[in-house]
Amino acid sequence: MPAESTPESGHRRKPRSKRRKALVIAAWSAAGVFVLGGTGLGYVYFNLNDNIKSVDIDQALGTDRPLDVDNGSQDILVLGSDTRSGSNKELGGGTDDGSARSDTAMVVHVYEGHKKASVVSIPRDTLVPRPACTDSEGAEHDAASLAMFNSAYSTGGAACAVKTVESMTGIRMDHYVEVDFSGFQKLIDELGGVEVTTTKDISDKESHLDLEAGTHRLTGKQALGLVRTRHGVGDGSDLGRIQLQQAFIKALVEQVKDVGVLTSPKKLYDLADTATKTVTTDSDLASVKDLASFANGLKGIGSSQMNMVTLPVQYDPADGNRVLVEKDKAAQVWEALRNDRPIPKSATKGTASGDAKGVVTS
């Protein structure tokens, strides 16, 4: 189905195509590594700087953006990218055509004092107005009255994704962090795996994941399978997958904290090398020094200080493979974050969930 239209019929949820889906990635999984090294990584800053790819969001978007509120909080758009080139080709299951998708997005709001955070996952299949935007190469892209959320990234890259999120939320994104899934898999392996507990068996041939109920230390390949799986849990929707992703992120945050006991300079360098090769950031985070400083401001936020929710949505009556924003409830979410307040529980009560909550715990 074209991103800009909805089908006229089809009330039952239909299986998706076998096209590979992208993954979620937490900012902490990449940026947190730098905190662990502290000043001990200073001697390799120069070498690692060249690894980091960046996008000048400010230049691309200009002045037509929400007000930059200086209240001590920060808002970060975190995307997982599914590029169809290089080492991602095999993992993505697509052709080496250089195309890219962003199938998962999170708005991370770090509250004043940087001791707690709220994370709002935006389902990739959410139908939203997509504003006109100019990408980082200067190309202009027309607006669409109704488009899948992830079409913003595939249309105009990071700049258009940020523009769409700012249009939806009325919140200016202070930073942008993007991670591709081949780097994600390697990073998990270098972290020594991530321990999670599954309360049910998970078996999904499409994501190549087969886990019995119980506690597991996931390899990078298994972790990638977990954050991509849909058919093995809940109602088989992207919303169920988001619930798995959120649980995995909390486990990952704790795992990154545990790496602090490492004493091997080589281990720390390998982690930092992989992390810097994995991320694309906004231009304000385009050096190891800036990224380390940013990460240092997040190090006090553990999994228990993270409130993770999904944007309030309901299944589209015209197509169960799409979701529509619950405007009044979504407004409560964004208003709370704009004012640096906790998200009220009423904002997500009674919304579509995917029925996979509690299947994975940290």
- Domains detected in the chain: 27-361 (3.40.630.190)
Residue 264: what pLDDT? 66
350's CB contacts (< 8 A; 6+ apart) are none
Element (H, E) at 118: strand 117-123
Structure-token pair, residue 320: 């169960």
Residue 85: what pLDDT? 46
Q: What is the CA radius of gyration of the chain?
A: 19
**Under-50 pLDDT residues of the chain:** 1-43, 84-89, 91-98, 261, 263
Element (H, E) at 104: strand 102-110
Q: CA dist 15 to 90, 102, 178, 206, 238, Å? A: 22, 20, 28, 12, 11
Q: Residue 331: count other Cβ atoms within 10 Å of its Cβ.
A: 15
Q: CA dist 157 to 50, 57, 166, 178, 223, Å? A: 21, 10, 15, 11, 26
Length of the chain, in residues: 362
What are 74's strand-pairing partners? 110
Strand order through the sheet with 313-316: 144-148, 126-130, 319-325, 313-316
HEC per residue, 216-280: EEECHHHHHHHHHCCCCCCCCCHHHHHHHHHHHHHHHHHHHHHHHHCCCHHHHHHHHHHHHHHEE
How far apart are the C-alpha atoms of 19 and 24, rounded to whole Å? 16
Structure-token pair, residue 360: 């994975």
Pairing relationship of beta strands 306-310 and 117-123 according to DSSP bridges: parallel
Residue with tokens 């998200």: 343
Q: Residue 120: count other Cβ atoms within 10 Å of its Cβ.
A: 26
Q: Residue 338: count other Cβ atoms within 10 Å of its Cβ.
A: 19
Pairing relationship of beta strands 306-310 and 279-282 according to DSSP bridges: unpaired
Q: Is this model's pTM higher than 0.95 or not? A: no
The DSSP secondary structure of 50-80, one letter per residue, reads: TT-EEE-HHHHHTT-S-----SS-EEEEEEE
Residue 12: what pLDDT? 41
How far apart are the C-alpha atoms of 31 and 29, rounded to whole Å? 6
How far apart are the C-alpha atoms of 198 and 202, rounded to whole Å? 8
How far apart are the C-alpha atoms of 323 and 329, rounded to whole Å? 14
Residue 99: what pLDDT? 52
Structure-token pair, residue 170: 């009325």
